[in-house]
Amino acid sequence: MPKMIFVNLPVADLKQGTAFYESIGATKNPQFSDDTASCMVFSETIYAMLLTHDKYRQFTSKKIVDAKTSSEVLIALSADSRDDVDAMVGKAQAAGAIIDPTPTQDLGFMYGRSFEDPDGHIWEVACMDVEAATSGGDQSAAAA
């Protein structure tokens, strides 16, 4: 069985968060969702667990940071192509996300962009030509 990742994110508005993630292509798994949590599926191995603040506090006694003003984590997803990167960021923008809060990366062999969800969590989306990267591919297209 492949390893799976569950990213647990505190959200201020569970319905808004769920709708946002559905709009960028994740699907809600009702088996692991209720009025305190939404299990958002990106692939058979990648899940985002959106948790109300009360639910999130059941797992930690630490203060929940305001991700709009502080950063604790950057979450990255792979994409198959530059077009797929741009498409996901475009969907996020259409759903109200702040786009490109971190600089776009264009290294020739790797291309990446980012967006902030409604709670300020930053997601990076990137594609990489592994063969070009391992053979010292063209890095002349690096973004300024």
User: Domain spans of the chain?
Assistant: 1-61, 72-144
Q: Give the pLDDT confidence score for residue 133 in this predicted structure.
A: 76
Asked whether the CA dihedral 25, 29, 34, 36 is positive or negative, the reply is: negative
Predicted TM-score (pTM) of the model is 0.88
1-61: CATH topology: 2,3-Dihydroxybiphenyl 1,2-Dioxygenase; domain 1 (3.10.180)
Q: Give the pLDDT confidence score for residue 136 in this predicted structure.
A: 63
What residues of the chain score a pLDDT lower than 70? Answer: 136-144
Is-same-fold flag (1-61; 72-144)? Answer: yes
What class has domain 72-144? alpha beta
Q: End-to-end CA distance of the chain, in Å?
A: 42
Q: Give the pLDDT confidence score for residue 137 in this predicted structure.
A: 52
